[in-house]
A and B are shown apart, each in its own frame.
Chain A
Amino acid sequence: MSDLLFNTNLFDELDRFQRQMSSAFSGLPSSIRASRFSTFPQINLGSTDDSVEIVAFAPGIDPAKLELTVDKGLLTISGERTRVQSESEGRSYAQERFVGAFRRAIELPRDADPDKVKARYASGCLTISIGKREASRPRTIAIQ
């Protein structure tokens, strides 16, 4: 939003801002740990019968600079995104993309097994798959 005051199209910007705010609070029930809009990376979380799936939308990061830890049921994603362009000459019109160090923590469900974590970084998305403990998988019980 650094270009807001110099931008002739102020109403478009306000409109966009409002849309982003409303999208952050509508729809799915949000977690008590849900943070404000513009956090980085943004995270989607879902589960299947066998695993917990987490996607972190973190484009433009060197995978070597991403750190993923699991400690006492808390999954932490941290890293840093650096600005790519040189600031030597010329002028900047928009700087909306996140720059700097980030850290996000997610509380894992109890049935997630921290020994079965798989993570993959592709096209700017960090996909984390955490297996569930055997004991917590749904099963049918034979009736005698």
Chain B
Amino acid sequence: MNTQTQLAERNTGTFACNGDAQAQKGPAIVPAVDIYEDAHGITLWADLPGVSRDRLNVHVQDGNLFIEGQASIDTPDGLRLHHAEIREPRFARAFSLSADFDISKIDANLSDGVLKLSIPRREEARPRRIEVSIG
């Protein structure tokens, strides 16, 4: 879980405020994450403000975990943007997962713009105590 690669190259000159017409691999923001590991597995929180559940795509492919989301905010017609600190409506980040994790049991939960992913370890990869017998 120590490799972090950015999915999409970002073109700093472009500014997109409407995501629908944008290509799938357009510029993207790298969302801030918290990653925490205990004996059961890894828990990851990612800030994805404005991303609804149907516009969020979490998938695992070839041992890599991809988090991609498209933010959409209801704005009135004729809006002129004066100041923007969030300039791309797309979030993307990828992580490589080691074989210790059971990718079939990943649990994802999105609430208030925060994605929580629970990635359990495989049963055989969990730490265990070995009893030492005296003989």
Residues on B facing A (Cβ under 8 Å): 1-6, 10, 12-13, 15, 30, 32-39, 43, 45, 47-52, 71, 73-87, 111-114, 116
Contacts and interface: CB of A to CB of B under 8 A. Distances in A.
Given A13-B4, A123-B113, A59 B47 contact: yes
From A24, A47, A59, A129, name the one whose CB has the most chain B CB atoms within 10 angstroms: A59
A84 interface: yes
Interface of A: 6-9, 12-13, 15-16, 19-20, 22-24, 26-28, 30-31, 34, 39, 41-51, 53, 55, 57-61, 83-85, 89-98, 121, 123-125, 127, 129
Given A53-B75, A93-B2, A30 B83 contact: yes
Contact of B112 (A16, A91, A92, A124): A124
A84 B78 CA distance: 39
Contact of A23 (B4, B10, B36, B77): B10
B6 A12 contact: yes
B4 A7 contact: yes
Contact of B77 (A48, A96, A121): A48
A42 B78 CA distance: 22
